[in-house]
Each structure stands twice: as C-alpha cells, then as structure tokens.
Amino acid sequence: MTEVSVVYNDGKGHMTINCEFFFPAPQNKLNQMLNIVELDYEHREDAVKQFLDYLEGYQKTCEEMLPKIAQEYSLERTKMSELKDNVDHCKHTNGVPFTKDELKSAKETLKELKKEVNSLEKDFKTLQKKLQKSKINAEIVKGRLEKWSW
C-alpha cells in the first residue's frame, strides 16, 4: 500500500494519502489535494514524486492487463457465437440435432457466456478509462512538480 504523508501549517495540519484509493482521481479532487501538498513546502516535491511513481506503476499494470482481458474476451466471444449458431439451428457442430435436454442446457450455457462476455467488455472499457484518467493525473502532477522546481 502506497501512502504519502503531508504535514502543513507548521505541524497543525496532517494528511495521509492512500494512493490505491485516491488514484485515478477527478481533476478537481487532484488539484485540491495538490494545493494541500503545496503547503508542505519542505516535502512537497518528494510527495509529488511518490505520486508519479505510483501512477507510472499503475499505468504499467493497466497496460499489461488490457491485452489479457481482450484476449479472454475474444475467446469467450468466439465460444458464444459458435454456441449461438448451434442453438439457432438446433444442431451440434457436426450436424446431429440436439435433444430437448441438450438444447435447454446449451441455451443456459449461452446465457452464461453472454454474461461473461458482457462482463469482460465492461471490465475492458473501465480499465481503459482508468488508464486514461491516470495519464491525465500524471500530466497534472508533472506540471505541478515543474512549477515548483523552477
């Protein structure tokens, strides 16, 4: 767990930021947090560097997970389309007709595959959005660090 502690107002204010729960953050929340971090003049650059390290690791993890989810989605989608064709024609792949029980079972399996495919698609899109948000967060944090560094 990555936590960053900030002390401001001559030790009267204290905040601990848990990066796993905070990032990726909406821009307004990130700017509010950076304004508070800015008050800890002595340690603000270290805190921002920790945020950047966390965001870079988060982005790397997301980029590694996206192809895996896409591959799993593709496999499940293929299974689903093949089974749907079989159910629509009431026949096995080899052309032998389904019995009533087999057809019922195939329809249930198809229903479960649809749920799985939809879930994987949702996970993929969510991860893409989080990755994009984390990249925006990293740009904002870098901009603030550059502002403080000069």
Percent of the chain beyond pLDDT 70?
99
Give me the number of domains the chain comprises.
Answer: 1
**pLDDT tens-place string over residues 116-146:** 999 999 999 999 999 999 999 999 999 998 9
Contacts of 148 (CB under 8 A, 6+ apart): 38, 44, 45, 48
The answer for residues whose C-beta is within 8 angstroms of residue 5's C-beta and 6 or more apart is 14, 15, 16, 17
Q: How many CB atoms lie within 10 A of CB 21?
A: 10
* Phi, psi of 43, deg, nearest 5: -120, 5
User: Which residues, 6 or more positions from 101, have their beta carbon under 8 angstroms from its beta carbon?
Assistant: none
Provide the pLDDT confidence category of residue 106 given band limits of 50, 70 and 90. very high
Domain that holds residue 71: 3-149
